[in-house]
Structure 1
Amino acid sequence: MKYWMFLGIAIIGEVIATSTLKASEGFSKLIPSIIVTVGYLTSFYFLSLALKSIPVGVAYAVWAGIGVVLVTIISWATYDQKLDFAAIIGMVLIISGVIVMNLFSKVISH
């Protein structure tokens, strides 16, 4: 269970870093650039810990899939980026894929 917590921390770090990347303005703003750097370092460190138990393909799919959905929602709320019907359907499919993989895959120890 702790490895899934590590993966959760990795996802949070990646989401914070990616969501702040725009505010860093090409790493020209100090505080957002520090947040981006710390977020990515945190993310990769905890992802590496999660990979001690979770298969790399599964961990990456969950990390990337949930990260994409959360960053999209944050971008919509923070930067007023528009989401059309296709984007919403795509995010639903990503979440569905992560759920199906976690519930039914034999490569994941349940």
Structure 2
Amino acid sequence: MDVLIHLFVGLHIVGIAALLGGFLTQMKAMGGGTARFVPAMLHGALTMLVTGAILVGLDQAEYHHVNNIKIGVKLALLIVILGLVYVKRDEERVDKSLFGVVGLLTTANIFIAVLWT
């Protein structure tokens, strides 16, 4: 079971890398007002959602203590990110502040995962 958990943790990290990487590649365009949500950002957020749900299920299946408040906060942030990226995915330009919110929430999600024990 540990191998399976490690596999999904790795996939979860790949998802966050795609989401944050998509944001970082558009930083220069954000300065010029031409930033857009790239498909990698949507796919990364979806990967995070699916693998995160699987990880919570696997942890509970092994009777590990799951911090439901932490998971709820991370899920709420991810749903906001996913909603914004999904709704605005086809637009050629996204407002700077909206694009910045996605980057901020993504970074906050990372720090919550690492620092909240």
* Smaller-chain TM-score bracket: 0.3 to 0.5
Bigger relative contact order, structure 1 or 2 (CA pairs below 8 A, ≥6 apart): 2
- TM (norm. structure 2) is 0.42
- TM (norm. structure 1) is 0.44
